[in-house]
Amino acid sequence: MYCIDKLISNGYNFLIFYFDDKTDISELDLFNYGYLISARYCATHKQNEEECVEIINECADDIFAKFNEIIVANPKLYQHFNIEKVFSRNTIQKYPEMGRSYVIYYEVYLKLELIQKQ
């Protein structure tokens, strides 16, 4: 099942999106399993991409700790994956204003690799 949680780190608010043990792995799009756990920082004022990257880096330890809590609480699903303590990719939503771009949200994803059956 798709779940949402929140994390406050260094005064910044994050939404945590993840799948739990109620998820049937056979129903996942295994080509997009890198989207199983993510943290989204929603800008609270006009911020550029560089500022958001700094915030993510500043809060990375807390984000990875939250990801680990989720993995430990949902072993049935996450036992199927090799998990690295790195962000595999990001998604950014921006809006333009008078020749500049500001971030609406910046989202990072935990690096997961499906364990191949032998």
Q: pLDDT tens digits, residue range 30-53?
A: 666 678 899 999 888 889 889 999
Q: Which pLDDT belongs to residue 31?
A: 61
In contact, 58 and 78? CB cutoff 8 Å = no
Query: How far apart, in whole angstroms, are the C-alpha atoms of residue 17 and residue 59?
Result: 16
The pLDDT value recorded for residue 32 is 67
Whether pLDDT at 118 is above 60: no
pTM of the model: 0.88
Write b or e for each residue in 67-106: b if 16 or more Cβ atoms lie within 10 A of its Cβ, otherwise e: beebbeebeebbeebeeeeebeeeeeebeeeeeeebbeeb
Q: Encode pLDDT of 62-117 as tens digits.
A: 999 999 999 999 999 999 888 888 998 788 888 888 888 888 889 999 988 877 65
Domains of the chain by residue range:
2-114
For position 115, what pLDDT does the model report? 76
| Cα 113 to Cα 35, 58, 61, 95, distances in angstroms | 11, 25, 21, 33
